[in-house]
Amino acid sequence: MTRRRAVGMAVLAAVAALLTACSSGSGPSGSGPSQEVPAPLAPTTAEPAGANPSASSVLVCSDEAREDITEALGVAPTAIDPPTWADHVYSCRYRYPAGSFTLSVKELSSVAETTAYMDALAQRLGSTRTEDGLGEGAFVTTNGSVVVRKDFKVLLVDDTDLPPGLGSPPITPPQTALLVARTIIGCWTGA
């Protein structure tokens, strides 16, 4: 098996484990499979941007996200900078010994506003390819960062300050950004 294929399989396995952890509300317990059937997710209604960040925005810098991202990457951040909230953007930086990535969520108030914001990001950051099956639309930027839309929110995983290989096994900055985006979106249960 090639190293590239092995890394790809490890990334897919980590995403599957995290999606299971997010949907059950806890991480793996080691006690075997649960006999409970999870309840279907309640339908959500997109909420317009407000004076304070939404629960899904706050999640990106929470202890839960830190644990899930650590599990996905196989390495814990040395620190997470205190989150900021300005111009309806909730953001924090995950720091590692050799680099960092920034998570930010822009909250908007309508489908048209969200679409215009996504289009502006694609113009400003460049869009090299779309990512099907991720949120309600996603793309990878020219530098490998990932942008994902869900309801009236836009998640940006900015990988520009990451080292060439992060995690265990080491993966590239674009692979890291995609894995982190999938982890966060998999845990967002509402808008």
pLDDT band with cut points at 50, 70 and 90 for residue 52: confident
Asked if residues 41 and 176 have their Cβ atoms less than 8 Å apart, the reply is no
Place of tokens 């980590």: 14
pLDDT one-digit tens code per residue, 109-149: 999 999 999 999 999 999 999 988 899 999 999 999 999 99
Q: Is residue 167's pLDDT more than 90?
A: no
Maximum distance among all alpha carbons in the chain?
52
**Mean pLDDT computed over 85-90:** 95
Q: How far does Cα 170 stand from its chain's mean position?
A: 18
Q: What is the pLDDT of residue 48?
A: 63
93 vs 43, higher pLDDT = 93
Q: Is residue 98's pLDDT more than 50?
A: yes
What one-character DSSP code corresponds to residue 171? B
Mean pLDDT lowest among 12-16, 148-152, 184-188: 12-16
Q: What is the pLDDT of residue 10?
A: 39
Burial (CB < 10 A; 0-12, 13-18, 19+), residue 86, is exposed
CB atoms within 10 A of CB 40: 6
Q: Report the predicted TM-score, pTM, of the whole model to 2 decimal places.
A: 0.76
Burial (CB < 10 A; 0-12, 13-18, 19+), residue 167, is buried
**Whole-angstrom Cα distance, residue 191 to residue 173?**
27
pLDDT band with cut points at 50, 70 and 90 for residue 45: low
Q: What is the pLDDT of residue 103?
A: 96
Domains of the chain by start residue, with CATH: 3-27+50-187 (3.40.1000)
pLDDT band with cut points at 50, 70 and 90 for residue 22: low
Mean pLDDT of the chain: 79
As a whole number of Å, the CA-based R_g of the chain is 16
**Whole-angstrom Cα distance, residue 165 to residue 172?**
5
CB contact burial 123-160 (16+ within 10 A = b; e otherwise)? eebebeeebeebbebbbbbeebbbbbbbbbbbbbbbbe
Q: Torsions phi, psi of 39, nearest 5? A: -70, 145
